[in-house]
Structure 1
């Protein structure tokens, strides 16, 4: 019975007494309160640990994410910097290429301008050569090439035959550089072709001007030789020869050669004109073209009295009114009635020579007048001591009559050159 009482004996709960002066407080601590407090404490401890762990892990994750983001940003900035540098290099190269091409194009345009401007210099020379009967063989002088600039544009590329002008360098992007290189800037090969074409044109101009100079010199030599063979007192030419292949080195050399050839051409033309003028000063032109000779120079039977007499000229069969021309350049010294000559014109020429045209029905010049070879001076007739209409023609040297046939034969030989 005692054991049962001990087993069933009630255990009193713990009491906490707090005394403060006259005030006394006490709290009874029951077991379930202790358990609940322990449970709450444990929960709080676990929560704290979990929270701390979460915060630590979160900071690590954030730091890792930030580091990764920073790394990606640095890599992106490095890539951008690399691309920017690449674009700058390409743009710089593109600008240099464009400047180089524009320099070449400007150089070619300048050469084209030079060649085109020469047309104004060449054309009158060609006309002058044509008037003198000078032509270069095998190509005609009129075929000298003169490049023409394309009108209506100031763009050098368009004037040279290239495409559209180059796009401004500020608008170049990495995606368009290759296209502009391929489509807008003319290739070095094309520039070389244009330069070669201009060079060929310039050489052709120089070669044909030189050919014209040679042709003028050759014609002058033929005139002098033919005149000497015909008996005209013309001094023989003293010539010296030069030669060698034509190998110009650059544009400045070509300019100098062209100027030299122009000087040589002008000199050759002037010498040819001077030679022709000298030859024309001799009475070599036929005063009655197409008319036959009825009486020669020298001794003959006088047609009126029938006795032997000296005939100081030659007679041409010419019906009344036939045109009579001056046989050479000169000055009229007599124009009127002159004894047995009837109506007569006398012309003084160079080299101490004079010519007389007698028995004229009409006179169209007067004393002191300058005339040129082939100019109309009168009309044939039968005035003076004459048996019928004809032209009495004389050539005198130092006042003495000489045979005109030699001069007329010279004129026939030289007609193709004069």
Structure 2
């Protein structure tokens, strides 16, 4: 049955593919190969399959190339938009910093004016009290002189009556009357001088009162200017504090705990500011001083936020053109296959691209480590560490202090890597977290 079917197939194929013979001539003789119709059909089918497979593979390769080109262009456009956004944010940050500096300068100038006005008010109050004391002394002197004058006049009248009773006339006491007259003239002159001094004191007191009123008016104007300055400073502090607080919350960090730790452990900078004025008489500070102290406390807290933000990895480790090739989370392993956790973020770029520290800290490892290749690990405060792997060259050594933005190495392809890129990790208390959480949180601030 099988041979009959085979014979029938050969007969059908022989109409289109007649049997061919391939002659092979050599020194020993001539031989030939028979190419039956079935064999020819198999060869033709094989060649057709090969050509079709080649066309399909070429088409897939061309489609992948076109798609990769479109993805590359989209990534470049996205990089340009990110760079433009970063430039705009840097300009906005510089503008806010300039506004804060101007507000602080205006605040210091207003405080100087307030101190000057307070000094002048105190001097005018002292002069007014001195004038009031002088007037009281003069009035007491006038009362004493009047009493003395009245006593002398009474005594004179008594003596005249006694003399008239003894002699019947007052002519014998002429010398005593002349002496009393001189005494009365002296007292009268003293009274006139005292009255002149009193009038002059009243005039000076009126002038002092007018000056006090002018100073009070100037103080009211200064208070109004201070109110405007205080409002501007308070608004500037609030505007500066809000994005920092949102940045810490977006990164999943407890701001109260961080600020408390910075306040208790940071030395040399960022300490609490002294009150603007203190009473030397044991009195309670006035409302303006209390408000100024509140502003200074807010500025101190803003400074603590800034210190904490500088120490944590909120900035990008790559500031040149790059391509984000792999994010944080589970993925297919690019070398061995299988689903595994990718504990960081990959930034691809040219070899030698500068790598920058994401925040202030201390280098706790700088060298070659299995899988990571050339790697730098930085210890930041609050249990945060960052790792920078697969670098081609290191610019820091173990134990070195680095600041946010310092160049710590160059991008490379060392260790377990398929191409030139940076593997960037952020770990909290040893556990990996998504680095883009910190970078995205700090994007509107740095």
State the TM-score, normalizing by the size of structure 2. 0.45
Which has the larger share of helix? 2
State the TM-score, normalizing by the size of structure 1. 0.48
